Amino acid sequence: MDGFRGSYGLTAVSIDADEDGWPDIFVACDSTPSLLLMNNRDGTFREEALLRGVALSADGREMGGMGVGVGDYNLDGHTDLLKTHFMNQANGSTATTERATSTT
Ligand SMILES: [Ca+2]
Ligand SMILES: [Ca+2]
């Protein structure tokens, strides 16, 4: 994946971000935008983290992404991400599938 040189990925998780039944990949990155690799259903992926609102903080800054948890933390039936950050940065939870499906 040559297109991601310069990204500092620390944690990768599988998540069906657009709820199409095909696994996608979220990568928490340190000091660079996080990545969301959407499954093209043909063995390839396309990067859409910025488009789907999960690349940067709410105020548009790169964060020190460290770890990621996946689950339905608010029990609404949609999978969420919880991304932890480097010290002095707030941890972020994102209703990822809700954001991802709203852009399709
Ligand atoms: Ca998917
Ligand atoms: Ca949820």
Per the CB < 8 A criterion, the answer to whether 69 and 14 are in contact is no
Q: 75: helix, coil or strand?
A: coil
* Bridge-based pairing state of the strands 65-71 and 35-39: unpaired
Sheet with 80-85: list strands edge to edge. 65-71, 80-85, 92-94
- How far is ligand 2, taken at its centre, from the CA of residue 80, in Å? 5
pLDDT digits (tens, 9 = 90+) for 85-98: 887 666 665 545 54
17 CA from centroid of ligand 1 (Å): 5
Q: How far is the CA of 52 from the centre of ligand 1 (A)?
A: 13
Quickly state the pLDDT bin for 102 (edges 50, 70, 90). very low
- What distance in angstroms lies between residue 30's CA and the mean position of ligand 1's atoms? 24
pLDDT 10s digits, 25-77: 999 999 899 999 999 999 999 999 999 988 888 888 888 888 899 988 889 99
* Contact criterion met (CB below 8 Å) for 79 and 16: yes
Which residues have a beta carbon within 5 Å of ligand 2, which is an ion?
72, 74, 76, 78, 80
